Amino acid sequence: MFGFGERTEVDLAQEVAGDVHWYGTPKFHESDLGTNSFGQGIAVTPLQMLTAISAVANDGVLMHPHVAKGIIYQGRVMEIQPYAVRQVIQPAVARTLTDMLVKAVEQGAPQAGVPGYRVAGKSGTAQIPEGGGYAADRVIASFVGYLPAENPRLAILVKIDEPKGETLGAQVAGPVFSRVASQLVQIFGIPPGGGTP
């Protein structure tokens, strides 16, 4: 649906597909239905996660990701054109999800906020697999989001492997997201409503 469990086909070598056991596939087990619902037992790449939330920001359209805007070769600029992969959710559903993600930031991860901007996002705290189970004291803390929520111009993912001390994604990765986003809206001249500067 959002590209989880499949390669994004980004213009980089060695991309992996991640690991998701979808219903009806050979790897699926009945217990996956419950554990997948809260993110346990699946593995997605940071680029897959960023591409997925970008689809929500883009009215439900999943875009093909690129790492460069263009290539300069022998004095000529070859611009890389973005293109849609598929519509993964309806625009109305994407707007509802955006409202929910704004509330998730305002009520659950205010440290990821950017003054003057509505931020849509979600924190994550993932256990690290170890010896057939999960490590008791090691996690991956993350925060993924976009802004301005009403007219998105930036999508950012922050991933911190094995943070020391505090481990919750909102408290560890949220403030980093806020600092990065605050600087980027200034660098790119993005006004709070997301219009053209």
- Three-state DSSP state, 114: strand
d(CA 110, CA 127): 23
What is the model's pLDDT at position 66?
86
Number of domains making up the chain: 2
What is the model's pLDDT at position 137?
87
User: Which neighbouring-strand residues pair with 50?
Assistant: none
Which band of pLDDT confidence, cut at 50, 70 and 90, is reported for residue 151? very high
- Residue of higher predicted confidence among 118 and 39: 118
Of 89, 117, 139, which residue sits at a domain end?
89
- Which token pair is 114? 């950017």
Of 89, 121, 137, which residue sits at a domain end?
89
What is the model's pLDDT at position 37?
73
Q: Do residues 105 and 184 share a domain?
A: yes
Portion of the chain with pLDDT greater than 90, in percent: 59
Strand ranges for the chain from DSSP E? 61-63, 70-73, 76-79, 84-87, 120-130, 133-147, 154-161
Does the pLDDT at position 65 exceed 70?
A: yes
Q: What are 87-128's pLDDT values in tens digits? A: 999 999 999 999 999 999 999 999 999 999 999 999 999 888
Q: Does residue 76 form part of some domain?
A: yes
Mean pLDDT of the chain: 89
Which band of pLDDT confidence, cut at 50, 70 and 90, is reported for residue 1? confident
d(CA 72, CA 103): 42
d(CA 178, CA 158): 10
Query: What CATH number is associated with residue 178?
Result: 3.30.450.330
Q: Do residues 104 and 173 share a domain?
A: yes
Tokens 């990821």, residue? 112
Contact 142, 124 (CB under 8 A): yes
DSSP symbol at 108: I
Q: What are 168-182's pLDDT values in tens digits? A: 999 999 999 999 999
Of 54, 70, 89, which residue sits at a domain end?
89
Across the chain, how many H-helices and E-strands are there? 4, 7
